[in-house]
């Protein structure tokens, strides 16, 4: 390593150490104070650096890369409100257990509280949203400084991914020179790392597999439960095959939320129930399908009917991070082990010692699940229940699908069918916000190295126009299916729609934008298609572009409710 000067050399050592730990992606934002951080990262050929102009967008790009790759990603910005704009992504990373390295440049202590420009209080700026904060400090150049920065980089890396992953924040108070002016007085040997490109410090995790005692306890629980169910929610683990094997071993239905990875793919889906949200809206079905035990893997799915059904059930949660993602607050046990290996081990034990539960129980779920596609086919076309699920027949194997919060994630959970095609669904369901949707999809696209399909409403789309600009600058491929219902359609399902004064409700809650989405598509350099049917959606999805599906909010509420009623009526014949 050839140190440049007293400002750059510590950062060069820091970045070198992150690369040794395994860092692959850095998202940079323009600025003067963070120029040394930018140049230290972009000059390292081991790193792929992504330039994003807007800090709020940049935070979500980094989050999307980290979520899709499962590895920590660094994002750097200049001082002042630039750092504050990273807050939403930091919060989402915390709530969604995504490893993020937030590297903020700052004014040195002598320029704080003096009226200097772009100087705000950045100490613990993100509060409890980060796992760890460090004010890096200012140090005399030399071997001691090199050791400090290298050790610090390792701690930041391993802290972000250890246990329950999450964001860490390092604040760098940088003094002049901020330009890469060479200082020949620095000794290169002072700044060297360990030989063989080894990290300065490595951390060895404790095993996360379940013990034989835990498996025996779970096996006993399953054996005592005549009618059980497995609920698979969002998780960073690949649980598709292991959850399917456990469902087969127990003979239980497997209620699979799309982001679990279990609903779609070539694995055994004989026990998968895709449309549980609609089934559990039927009081008669719920009354006849109360489980003795539910084993839940991953985060709790969004579905409100599912959560209500879980509230009355005996639950065991397999959660490797013991993150208490348990909104019903009725689970009797949390097992902090890796869900993939735990499901495999439990399935193997059950296959050897216990016959599956009677098939009538799961058969009744499967017969009920099968009535939904016919009821869905009877709804108007286009309509919101059919818009996103229209892609099920045309998405390529291995497709990456990002789903916006609010109505899109709910409609996908309710209506998207199971399919042999292997699809990866991702969404920001940590804090459940609509911000950063496009930028997160860009990050996932960068990590995966392929086109991403974005399912969104128009408010989430317009909320992140900066993400479209980032897509265009990156020249990444994006196909958007956007339901445009003239505002926040989800609110029409809530009591506020019935009781608020109409004009005020429309202006301040629904907030229609009035923007022409064809013009928005042109701004992003995307072809625009106005889809009038599911066939139009499928035809346009073969290439990048913005597919706009116009719907009426009032009609949408009626269509959803008529569909729920149709499914309920059909269930009486099952």
pLDDT of residue 107: 94
Measured between alpha carbons, how far is 332 from 38 in angstroms, rounded to an integer? 49
Query: What does the pLDDT look like over 83-116, one tens digit per residue?
Result: 999 999 999 999 999 999 999 999 998 888 888 8
State the residue for tokens 């809530």.
494
Residue 252, pLDDT above cutoff 90: yes
Name the residue ranges covered by the structural domains of the chain. Answer: 8-175, 212-373, 379-571
Query: What tokens appear for 153 in the block?
Result: 């980089």
Q: Is 101 helix (H, G, I), strand (E, B) or coil?
A: strand
Cα–Cα distance for residue pair 535/382, rounded to 1 Å: 9
What's the average model confidence in pLDDT over 260-280? 98
Check pLDDT > 80 for residue 207: no
CATH code at 8-175: 3.40.50.970
- Calculate the dihedral angle through the C-alpha atoms of 27, 170, 436, 527, rounding to the nearest 10 degrees: -10
CA distance 574 to 562: 19
CB 76 within 8 A of CB 38: yes
Closest CA to 459 of 438, 429, 430, 431: 438
More reliable by pLDDT, 342 or 492 = 342
Side-chain-side CA neighbours of 365 within 13 Å: the count stands at 28
Closest CA to 92 of 554, 475, 430: 430
The fold adopted by the segment(s) 379-571 is Rossmann fold (3.40.50)
Stated pTM of the model:
0.95
Query: Strands, DSSP E only, in 69-215?
Result: 73-77, 100-106, 132-135, 167-173
Q: Evaluate if residue 399 carries a pLDDT over 70.
A: yes
Q: For residue 217, what pLDDT band results from cuts at 50, 70 and 90?
A: very high
Whether the pLDDT of residue 447 is over 80: the answer is yes
Pairing of strands 423-426, 399-403: parallel
513/504 Cα distance (integer angstroms): 15
The CA distances from residue 241 to 238, 344, 415, 422, in Å, are: 8, 9, 22, 12
- The confidence score (pLDDT) of residue 357 equals 65
Residue 344 is predicted with a pLDDT of: 97
Handedness of CA 503, 505, 508, 514 (dihedral sign): negative
Instruction: Collapse the DSSP code of 282 into the 3-class scheme (helix H, G, I; strand E, B; otherwise coil) and give the result.
Output: coil
Greatest C-alpha distance within the chain: 85
Q: Given a cut of 70, is residue 358 above it in pLDDT?
A: no
pLDDT, mean of residues 474-482: 96
In 291-412 the beta strands, taken as DSSP E runs, fall at: 293-297, 315-318, 333-335, 399-403
Closest listed residue to residue 68, CA positions, set 452, 395, 541, 543: 452
The fraction of the chain above a pLDDT of 90, given in percent, is: 89
* pLDDT at 326 (0 to 100): 84
Answer whether residue 219 shows pLDDT above 80: yes
Architecture of the domain whose range is 212-373: 3-Layer(aba) Sandwich (3.40)
pLDDT at res. 354: 78
Which tokens go with 319? Answer: 């959660």
User: What is d(CA 400, CA 503) in angstroms, rounded to the nearest whole number?
Assistant: 40
Cα 340 from Cα 243, distance rounded (Å): 7
Q: Determine the pLDDT at residue 329.
A: 84
Q: What is the mean pLDDT of the chain?
A: 95
Distance CA(522)–CA(318), nearest Å, equals: 46
pLDDT of residue 517: 96
Give pLDDT tens digits for 112-130: 888 888 889 999 999 999 9
Query: What would the pLDDT profile of 282-296 be if each residue is shown by its tens digit?
Result: 999 999 999 999 999
Name the residue among 176, 160, 179 with its Cα closest to residue 168. 160
Instruction: Provide the pLDDT confidence category of residue 574 given band limits of 50, 70 and 90.
Output: confident
Reported residue count of the chain is: 574
Distance CA 249, CA 542 (A): 39
- Nearest-CA neighbor of 149 among 201, 102, 75? 201
Using omega within 30 degrees of 0 as the cis cutoff, is the peptide bond preceding 382 cis?
yes
How many Cβ atoms sit within 10 Å of the Cβ of residue 123? 12
Q: Average pLDDT, stretch 147-168? A: 96
Intrachain domains 8-175 and 212-373 with the same fold:
yes
- Structure-block tokens of residue 247: 């469902």
What are 547's strand-pairing partners? 481, 529
Note the pLDDT of residue 330.
86
The mean pLDDT value for 218-227 works out to 93
Dist. CA 411–CA 372, nearest whole Å: 13
Closest residue by Cα to residue 440 from 164, 171, 50, 163: 50
Q: What secondary structure does DSSP assign to 182-222, as a single string?
A: --TTS-GGGG---GGG--S---PPPP-SPPHHHHHHHHHHH
Look at residue 6 in the predicted model and tell me its pLDDT.
94
How far apart are alpha carbons 39 and 343 in whole angstroms? 46
Between the CA of residue 449 and those of 68, 477, 532, what are the distances in Å? 11, 10, 31
> What percentage of the chain carries pLDDT values higher than 70?
99
How many CA atoms within 13 Å lie on the side-chain side of 400?
Answer: 20
Compute the distance between CA of residue 366 and CA of residue 486 in angstroms, rounded to an integer.
37
Which residue reads 């509420």 in tokens? 557
DSSP H stretches of helix in 97-142: none
Contact, 211 vs 311, CB < 8 A? Answer: no
């Amino acid at each position: 390593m050839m140190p440049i000067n007293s400002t750059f050399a510590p950062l060069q050592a820091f970045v070198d150490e992150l690369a040794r730990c395994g860092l692959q992606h850095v998202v940079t934002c323009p600025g003067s104070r963070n120029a040394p951080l930018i140049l230290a990262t972009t000059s390292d050929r081991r790193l792929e650096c992504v330039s994003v102009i807007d800090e709020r967008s940049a935070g979500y790009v980094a989050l999307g890369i980290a979520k899709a790759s499962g590895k920590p990603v660094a994002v750097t910005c200049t001082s002042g409100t630039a750092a504050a704009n990273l807050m939403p992504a930091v919060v989402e990373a915390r709530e969604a257990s995504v490893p993020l390295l937030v590297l903020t440049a700052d004014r040195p202590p002598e320029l704080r509280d003096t009226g200097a420009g772009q100087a705000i209080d950045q100490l613990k700026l993100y509060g409890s949203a980060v796992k760890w904060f460090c004010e890096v400090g200012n140090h005399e150049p030399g071997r001691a400084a090199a050791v400090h920065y290298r050790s610090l980089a390792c701690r930041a890396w391993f802290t972000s991914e250890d246990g329950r992953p999450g964001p860490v924040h390092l604040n760098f108070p940088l003094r002049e020179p901020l330009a890469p002016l060479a200082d020949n007085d620095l000794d290169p040997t002072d700044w060297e790392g360990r030989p063989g490109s080894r990290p300065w410090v490595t951390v060895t995790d404790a095993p996360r597999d379940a013990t034989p005692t835990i498996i025996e306890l779970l096996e006993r629980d399953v054996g005592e439960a005549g009618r059980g169910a497995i609920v698979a929610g969002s998780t960073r683990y690949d649980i598709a095959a292991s959850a399917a094997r456990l469902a087969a071993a127990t003979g239980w239905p497997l209620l699979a939320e799309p982001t679990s990875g279990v609903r779609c793919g070539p694995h055994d889906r004989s026990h998968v129930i895709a449309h549980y949200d609609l089934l559990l809206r039927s009081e008669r079905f719920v009354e006849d399908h109360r489980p003795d035990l539910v084993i839940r893997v991953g985060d709790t799915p969004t579905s409100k009917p599912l959560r209500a059904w879980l509230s009355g059930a005996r639950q065991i949660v397999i959660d490797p991070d013991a993150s208490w993602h348990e909104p019903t607050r009725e689970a009797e046990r949390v097992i902090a082990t890796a869900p993939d290996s735990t499901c495999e081990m439990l399935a193997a034990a059950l296959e050897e010692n216990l016959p599956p539960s009677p098939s009538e129980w799961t058969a009744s779920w499967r017969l009920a699940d099968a009535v939904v596609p016919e009821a869905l086919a009877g709804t108007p076309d286009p309509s919101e229940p059919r818009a996103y699920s229209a892609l099920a027949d045309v998405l390529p194997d291995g497709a990456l699908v990002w789903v916006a919060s609010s109505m899109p994630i709910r409609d996908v959970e309710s209506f998207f069918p199971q399919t042999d095609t292997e699809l990866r669904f991702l969404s920001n369901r940590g804090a459940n916000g609509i911000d950063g949707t496009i930028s997160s999809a860009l990050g996932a696209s960068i990590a995966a190295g392929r086109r991403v399909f974005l399912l969104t409403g128009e408010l989430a789309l317009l909320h992140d126009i900066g993400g479209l600009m980032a897509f265009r600058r990156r020249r990444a491929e994006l196909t958007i299916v956007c339901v445009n219902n003239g505002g926040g359609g989800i609110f029409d399902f809530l009591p506020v729609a019935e009781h608020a004064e109409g004009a005020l409700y429309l202006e301040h809650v629904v907030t229609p934008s009035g923007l022409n989405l064809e013009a928005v598509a042109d701004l992003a350099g995307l072809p625009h298609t106005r889809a009038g049917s599911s066939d139009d959606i499928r035809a346009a999805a073969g290439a990048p572009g913005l597919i706009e599906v116009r719907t009426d909010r009032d009609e949408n509420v009626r269509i959803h409710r008529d569909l729920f009623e149709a499914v309920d009526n059909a269930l009486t014949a099952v």
